[in-house]
A and B are shown apart, each in its own frame.
Chain A
Amino acid sequence: MNPIYWVLGAPLAGAAVVRLAGAKLGKRASAWIACLALAAALAVASALVAGLAASAPDARHVVVPGFTFLELGLFRAGFDLLVDPLSVLMACLVTGVGLLIHVFSVAYMAEESEAEYARYFAYLNFFVFSMLVLVLAANFLVLFAGWELVGLSSYLLIGFYRSKTSAADAGKKAFIVNRVGDFGFLMAVFLLMSSYGSLDFDVILPHAASLGAGSALAATVALLLFLGAAGKSAQGPLFVWLPDAMEGPTPVSALIHAATMVTAGVFLVARCHALFELSSLAMKAVAWTGALTALFAAGVAARQNDIKKVLAFSTISQLGYMVLAVGVGAYTAGVFHLFTHAFFKALLFLGCGSIMHALHGELDMNRMGGLRKKLPVTHWTFLVGAACLAGVPLTGGFFSKDEILGRVLAGPHGDPLLWAVGYATAAVTAYYSGRLVFRVFYGSTRLDRDAFDGAHEGGWAFQGPLLVLALGALAAGSLGLPEFLGTARPLEAWLAPVFTDSTWGGPGPSEPLSLGLMGLYTLTVAAFVWLAWSLFGKKDASVSNARTGFFARNGYVDELYDLLFVRGLLALCGWLYRVVDRELIDGAVEAVGWTAQGAGAFLRQNVHNGKVRAYAAYVVAGSCLLAVLVLILGGLTCFR
């Protein structure tokens, strides 16, 4: 059996076993089964990486044909899986980060009942399975299956706390907004299906050009695919579900809404880059959407008081960077940032989880402060994560962000205006990262005495993953050091076979420009972090509780949607009920009855009058009619 099925099968089996039997087996068993399943998947995925590395670069594309789902003449759709550098890299990332989060969850969710504990781990395993299906797909069918499954998993996990109405609503919102994106995705798939007669990547992507470079069809397909990507990655107007998704347990936010599921959109564009490159209009749309979303979300993040919401908007903003990268053809840079972001964002979220655990669920940063000495491990790892986020030099985040911005400015399809938006975003990012760290860990505390004294670190299950992720975040930068340094760039080399056919790639900025940019970033970060320090980090720093203003209210987007869609739809439904249903349809039905009654009454009074002679007349008339009919059918031969 091909090893790839172990990668998928382990988490699926784990999910099934834990869901069905976990409550009876107890929490320890559930936790062990789930974590072991992921460990197994990770091991096999790593082996696949090794296997690919051992083969020649142009042979690193293996399709594993699977169960044939549908076969109609020449069209065949099957559950085929693809083993190539991009897919196994993503698989390792998902299983690796997933494993760390599972370990963290063992302690974080420990206060739940057996049944709830089991349900949580089952869903978490199921999510990992779904994400693996998505990234390992060899055709649009499997990819879409994975796409929908992660949507389902996300819904289940966001709404995990079933007793909270807000959680249930958030789950629904996520699913529905995703649906809008899925609509675009499906339309694109249908178009591809009609153009190519197949859904396999190996049939479509190498022959992307047959859609016609620059044609309306190519642009439509690309834009529709991007609509799907935007839904999953919370870009553009479809971002609204992500902040609400914070209702779910914090490790869920770490896994799904930071490291993996939301990156599916970026992954999609990278995978289908051949289709996107046919339309510069689509690419521009992608890039600008990413850039503007990044800036906007950063602004909103700077005005949030809930630590998880800050991170949620930060995620949207960083995803914007990734989308921007793939929008200018810098696919490797986008994936690089995806990689580093997975580490530091998961780290930050788990850090939040640790803080929440210490403070018994407190989320408002205005009520924290001075926790630096109380939660040392959390503090230092959080600091690492924030530094990566802000782009402090030499952290992983710094190199990946620098890579993106460099290509946006000076790459073959670069645009200085886009770069300016990205640069502004970086500045704001530095500011809110600093604000977050300083408000929570520095300055004098705003907690009451008991809460402050009682705050303490969690056990090794909390601290272990935090430390591992911190190391990873720092080390990840080494995968893509700038070109001019002349050192090896392992990530680029690894992903090269996937993107060789790209016509949008090209060399990055020259050495002097690169150095200059790095200097600029360093200064900017320092300046804005200092600004945040002076506002928030000192003792007795002022507390701002204002929830007013454009950014504080999330750009009023939710209100806009409510106005446009919700109210309009409700009004339409009301109208349909009152007018169409009650008056038109019920009226029509009643009219039928009324007509029948009227006709019956008429017949009863006028025709069935009980008079024999009238009946006789009817009989005579009827018989004549029949006779005439017979004559006519006989051919009217009487008139010959």
Chain B
Amino acid sequence: MFQVEQVLVLALALFATGVFGVLVRRDPVVLFISIEMMFNAVNLALVGLARHEGLVLGHALVLFVVAVAAAEVAVGLGIIIALFRARTDMDVDRIDELKG
């Protein structure tokens, strides 16, 4: 039987894992992957709630989220590549020109 709490808890766990990854990893690509994980967690939650409420709007939202996430991935990876092209170290912490 479908129990919405279970789905939401799973989504939360994924989200939390993603948060952990964003905060801990220094490799920019893995960082980005963690962000994507957070997106997916949200999508999962939306699907679960859509099923629970009986609304297809949730699916439409997921569609839009996926589209935006894709765009964001494109741009983000572009930035990462631009930034780290000339570096030997793949360390996000070294990019601190915006400090102060």
Contact = CB atoms under 8 A, between A and B. Distances in A.
A611 B25 CA distance: 12
Contacts, number: 34
Contacts of A610: 95-100
Interface string A594-628: 00000000001100111111001100100000000
Interface in B23-66: 23-24, 26, 31
B23 A616 contact: yes
Contacts of B98: 608, 610
B11 interface: no
Nearest to A617: B23
Contacts of B92: 611-613
B89 interface: no
Interface string B67-100: 0000000000000000000000000110111111
Given A610-B99, A611-B92, A612-B93, 19 more contacts: A604-B100, A605-B100, A608-B98, A609-B96, A610-B95, A610-B97, A610-B98, A611-B93, A611-B96, A612-B31, A612-B92, A613-B22, A613-B92, A613-B93, A616-B23, A617-B23, A620-B19, A620-B22, A620-B23
Interface of A: 604-605, 608-613, 616-617, 620
A608 B99 contact: yes
Interface residues of B, number: 14
A612 B96 CA distance: 8
A608 to B, nearest CB: 6
B23 A608 contact: no
A241 to B, nearest CB: 67
A604 B99 CA distance: 8
Contacts of A611: 92-93, 96, 99
Nearest to B92: A612
A608 B97 CA distance: 11
A321 to B, nearest CB: 85
Contacts of A605: 100
Contacts of A612: 31, 92-93, 95
Nearest to A609: B99
Chain A, interface SS category: helix
Interface of B: 19, 22-24, 26, 31, 92-93, 95-100
A612 B31 CA distance: 10
Nearest to A615: B98
A173 to B, nearest CB: 63
A616 B18 CA distance: 12
B61 to A, nearest CB: 20
B17 to A, nearest CB: 13
Contacts of B100: 604-605, 608, 610
A616 B28 CA distance: 13
Nearest to B96: A610
Nearest to B93: A611
Contacts of B96: 609-611
A332 B92 CA distance: 104
A617 B22 CA distance: 9
A138 to B, nearest CB: 77
A617 B31 CA distance: 13
Nearest to B25: A613
A604 B98 CA distance: 11
Contact of B22 (A604, A608, A609, A616): A616
A297 to B, nearest CB: 79
10 contacts: A604-B100, A610-B97, A610-B99, A610-B100, A612-B31, A612-B93, A613-B23, A613-B26, A616-B23, A617-B23
> Which of A605, A612, A617, A620 has the most chain B CB atoms inside 10 A of its CB?
A612
B19 to A, nearest CB: 6
A604 B96 CA distance: 13
Contacts of B24: 613
A608 B19 CA distance: 20
Contacts of A616: 22-23
A620 B38 CA distance: 12
Nearest to B100: A604
B25 to A, nearest CB: 8
B45 to A, nearest CB: 15
Nearest to A604: B100
A603 to B, nearest CB: 10
A404 to B, nearest CB: 89
Contacts of B22: 613, 616, 620
A620 B23 CA distance: 9
A627 to B, nearest CB: 12
Nearest to B97: A610
A9 B19 CA distance: 91
A609 B24 CA distance: 16
Contacts of A620: 19, 22-23
Contacts of B31: 612-613
